[in-house]
Structure 1
Amino acid sequence: MIDPSLMTDLARLDFAWITSMHIIYPPLTIGLAAFLFFSEWRWLKTNDDEWYRLTRFFEKLFIINFGAGVATGITMEMSFGILFAPFSQAAGPFFGNILGYETITAFMYEAGFIGLMIFGWGKIGKKMHLFATFNVAFSSMLSAMWILVANSWMQTPTGVHLEKGLFLVDNWTHAIFNPNFLTAFPHMLIACFEIGLFFVASISALMVYKNRHAKMFMRTLTASIMALVIVAPLQVYMGDTLGRTVAKYDPAALAAMEGHWHTYNADGSPNTSWNVIAWPNEEKGTNDFQIAIPHVLSLLEDHKWVSTVPGLDQFKKADRPPVVVPFYSFRIMAAAGAALMLVAFWALFLRLRGQFTAEKLQRHPWFLRTVIFSSTLPYIAIWTGWWTREVARQPWLINGLMRTSEGVSQMSIGAEIVWFIGFMFFDLLVWFGAWYFFSKLIRKGPDMNTKVIHGVTPEPMHLGDMPNEEVPEGKPLFERPTL
């Protein structure tokens, strides 16, 4: 007899691995595509060849990341049917259609223009090539939009009703623009810009640190890090907005993220203390250890000094999400976001003081080292943010409508383990391949020898392509040139 809870846990663990290995690629694709559009626009605007060489260098890194994202995305699409067949069947009328829209309106759109962007240098006009790069960036954002529509609907399922085991759509507008999507998509999109900007900034800082084309890479370092002065604080703001959405529509998830067990204090007053750090004990329904600050939880969730924030004691034990993972992953995500914001402000401080040049940064390299190290933080933030989002929704697959245990495929333990090992091997193979080629290209650096393409390269004319002109009678077809 197969233990249903074991099957559920294995399926969740398998899918957690698949999504964690996939999600490191699409956000960078989106953020890097947007930066490529900016750098190519700078080349057209200034006619500065260094911007051309920088664009071509980062474009190669983009191609590697894009390929890895496509490969791991295929395994994730497969895993829906393999690991969660009942869910895929029941949610197909909405969830399946949304993934289909993503393929048709975003992925195929992106695939068409990415060919022009990669192979169009010298074959199409400069403005047309810039247009292709813009469409790659825009279509990648459109892809993220559809994915967030599908995932956010699982958080706040609106616009549907359950009939004969199927979630049928009553109102497409309500289902697509569900409450969670309206704040989750901007939060994720800004995270994509942030990871792309820090990717560019960290590689540029490495080149400046090693004094390899330092003055040229100061262009991308300055552009990316100054953009982060706006993007990083905006991400913190959108995180707060999304937190308030979660508090309104899924208070159990918010309580798990905050390790908030008890709604009221011993004296009957609302418990609005915020746990800076704690060790949740799910069996006892309390924290074994905690350091809390009064009133801060209310300020964070309601922007009030005192308010009632529901604790986990307001929900049945069977409906409570796990606490340890969302509690700590949420704090790691928030800490990473705050650290990224501080790095951006440090850069702004240096620039205002006139210290943001290659020579001065090389004499005081701690900033460059910090930026290089900080390239890991956006990945940590995206990972932990996604874990917070997915684990805090448990035990629901579709919040309040379908439990995870109801959506798991019925297969043997052995089959589940085989799929897990297969997915793990494939994803690790892609990961090692991607980082091997990343490091190889970064070590090689930008191509400084190839001639810059300023216009459309004419195709070579073959003999059969020559115009069919009549030759006057008595005149030879070819004449010997006069010396």
Structure 2
Amino acid sequence: MFGLDAFELARIQFAFTVSFHIIFPAITIGLASFLMVLEGLWLKTHNETWRDLYHFWLKVFAVNFGMGVVSGLVMAYQFGTNWSGFSAFAGSITGPLLTYEVLTAFFLEAGFLGVMMFGWNRVGPGLHFFSTCMVALGTLMSTFWILASNSFMHTPQGYEIVNNQLVPVDWFKVVFNPSFPYRLLHMATASFLATAFFVGASSAWHLLRGNKTPAVRHMFSMAMWMALIVAPIQAGIGDAHGLNTLEHQPAKIAAIEGHWDNVPGQPSPLILFGWPDMHAQQTKYALEVPYLGSLILTHSLTRQIPALKSFPPQDRPDSTVIFWSFRVMVGLGLLMIAAGLWSLLLRFRHRLYDQRLFHRFVLVMGPSGLLAILAGWFTTEIGRQPWVVYGLLRTRDAVSAHGTLHMSLSLLAFIVVYGSVFGVGLMYLLKLVARGPQPYVEHAPEGGPGEHRTPARPLSAADDAHDNTQRTR
């Protein structure tokens, strides 16, 4: 297929399914915490605006959660089907870590999700709020275990190799490996930012259409406060993560910077833009800022950053890809910081809900958080190459023995199925967001004939726009 062998097709297939899947957990993590805040505000103030916002975003959460679970199950099966070498080598570590996620996070979410979605007028307010808190906690615990497993693949420790298999000897070191704290904070914060701009873009859409109800104004204000506060924090976490990567994965940093050579005794420049050429072993058309590479990456004007030529050619990540994916991530992060600062200026001028140019900017920035997450994952995962477990197992040695035809057909099937099934789901999700918050109407737990009853199907928590019309016929 397109001149690619089975190994390359297996990598593309996994990248496709992971990239598609990560969209949904990122929003789920942020929305779960957002719902917890909204319900807490409702219980404290009994302001109906918070209740209306809770039920509006609960519908969006339900659809998003369902698609995230399905896409995640499909992705997990590929460890056995396409990457059996990895499963055989590292399964004794990654298997238990993923099992811990199921036993803690997934069971916690599953146990309280039904109460959260359908128990508003069936259980007491305290129990319902507790259920929302448990679902939010479950999403963060899921992030904890997934990042522990993935971070071990980047900075493995706490293991022994016995009969060509990884054997855990210290689970504390396995879980809390050197890159784990930075990557966990970076991903969790990125999820909050992605959700903030998703919520902000939804609000901006309604503000541009003249809908300035208290619910729309509140969620727009909350989203912009999140952008203002969290985006700079994320930049600081990213800097700390970069220093950690420089220590443990220096080849990745060299590839990110497109930095090939060091001049003895001179600090390293920062290449803002250019085109890294892996064959020519240089970054063409480079726009450099002297000293800045050393200052940013080592916090020093004398130390040098690693150069790609100091690593064997077979151990170099593809600089052409991650050089640009990293810059996409950083560029979007700077735009997020700019959006937060712009919102603060408009607040002082009492024009936050009236500045249409800003609303258009926030609307365009709606997918920026998700795009930044994808760019960040491309950077960190492609930057780990050619290793699947850094320094221990090469990616080519981890792939299953499939033929090119098999991998081509399965990849095409994934593209067709994902495009159709999840395409419909995404369209429905956007339709829900476009409707905007509606006043919530209380219903009795058990309705009589012809009266509203709580649906039994999980995704039917997101009622469509025609429900009220059908009930009046």
When the two structures are superposed, what TM-score results if normalisation uses the length of structure 1?
0.90
Residues in 2 aligned to 1:287 and 1:271: alpha-carbon distance in whole angstroms:
18
Q: Does 1:376 align with 2:359?
A: no
Residues in 2 aligned to 1:400 and 1:132: alpha-carbon distance in whole angstroms:
43
* Matched residue, 1:407: 398
In structure 2, list runs of 5 or more residues that go unmatched: 449-473
CA deviations on 1:453-480 (whole Å, 9 max, x unpaired) are 7xxx56689xxxxxxxxxxxxxxxxxxx
Match of 1:451 among 434, 441, 444: 441
> In structure 2, what residue type is equivalent to 1:11?
A
Match of 1:286 among 261, 282, 289: 282
| Equivalent residue runs for 1:80-229 within 5 Å | 80-229=79-228
* Matched residue, 2:453: none
> In structure 2, what residue type is equivalent to 1:409?
S
CA deviations on 1:24-53 (whole Å, 9 max, x unpaired) are 110100001111111111111111112111
| Equivalent residue runs for 1:180-329 within 5 Å | 180-262=179-261, 264-265=262-263, 268-329=264-325
Contact 2:80 2:87 in 1 (8 A): yes
Cα distance, 1:61 vs. partner?
0.7
* Matched residue, 1:338: 334
Q: Does 1:393 align with 2:389?
A: no
Residues in 1 aligned to 2:446 and 2:434: alpha-carbon distance in whole angstroms:
34
> In structure 2, what residue type is equivalent to 1:138?
L
Cα distance, 1:371 vs. partner?
0.9
Cα distance, 1:249 vs. partner?
0.3
* Matched residue, 2:420: 429
Cα distance, 1:286 vs. partner?
1.1
Counterpart of 1:44 in 2: which secondary structure?
A: helix
Counterpart of 2:417 in 1: which secondary structure?
A: helix
Cα distance, 1:10 vs. partner?
1.4
Residues in 2 aligned to 1:292 and 1:306: alpha-carbon distance in whole angstroms:
17
> In structure 2, what residue type is equivalent to 1:341?
I
When the two structures are superposed, what TM-score results if normalisation uses the length of structure 2?
0.91
Residues in 2 aligned to 1:380 and 1:277: alpha-carbon distance in whole angstroms:
20
> In structure 2, what residue type is equivalent to 1:300?
I
Aligned-pair identity in percent equals 34
Residues in 1 aligned to 2:360 and 2:28: alpha-carbon distance in whole angstroms:
24
Cα distance, 1:440 vs. partner?
2.2
| Equivalent residue runs for 1:444-483 within 5 Å | 444-448=435-439, 450-452=440-442
Counterpart of 2:67 in 1: which secondary structure?
A: helix
> In structure 1, what residue type is equivalent to 2:167?
L
For the pair shown, the structure with the greater C-alpha radius of gyration is 1
Cα distance, 1:227 vs. partner?
2.2
* Matched residue, 2:469: none
CA deviations on 1:346-368 (whole Å, 9 max, x unpaired) are 00111122223x4xx1xx31111
Cα distance, 1:413 vs. partner?
1.0
Counterpart of 1:11 in 2: which secondary structure?
A: helix
Relative distance call for 1:97 and 1:269 in structure 2 (3 A) is: same
* Matched residue, 2:466: none
Counterpart of 1:231 in 2: which secondary structure?
A: helix
* Matched residue, 1:480: none
* Matched residue, 1:74: 73
CA deviations on 1:279-299 (whole Å, 9 max, x unpaired) are 111112111220011111111
* Mean Cα deviation higher: 321-330 or 422-431: 422-431
Residues in 2 aligned to 1:395 and 1:33: alpha-carbon distance in whole angstroms:
36
Contact 1:52 1:452 in 2 (8 A): no
> In structure 1, what residue type is equivalent to 2:441?
K
| Equivalent residue runs for 1:27-38 within 5 Å | 27-38=26-37
Contact 1:72 1:430 in 2 (8 A): no
Question: How many pairs align?
Answer: 447
Cα distance, 1:439 vs. partner?
2.5
Residues in 1 aligned to 2:198 and 2:382: alpha-carbon distance in whole angstroms:
28
Cα distance, 1:206 vs. partner?
1.3
Residues in 2 aligned to 1:433 and 1:327: alpha-carbon distance in whole angstroms:
34
> In structure 2, what residue type is equivalent to 1:345?
L
Residues in 1 aligned to 2:288 and 2:422: alpha-carbon distance in whole angstroms:
40
> In structure 2, what residue type is equivalent to 1:269?
G
> In structure 2, what residue type is equivalent to 1:7?
A
> In structure 1, what residue type is equivalent to 2:195?
G
Residues in 2 aligned to 1:376 and 1:460: alpha-carbon distance in whole angstroms:
40
Counterpart of 1:25 in 2: which secondary structure?
A: helix
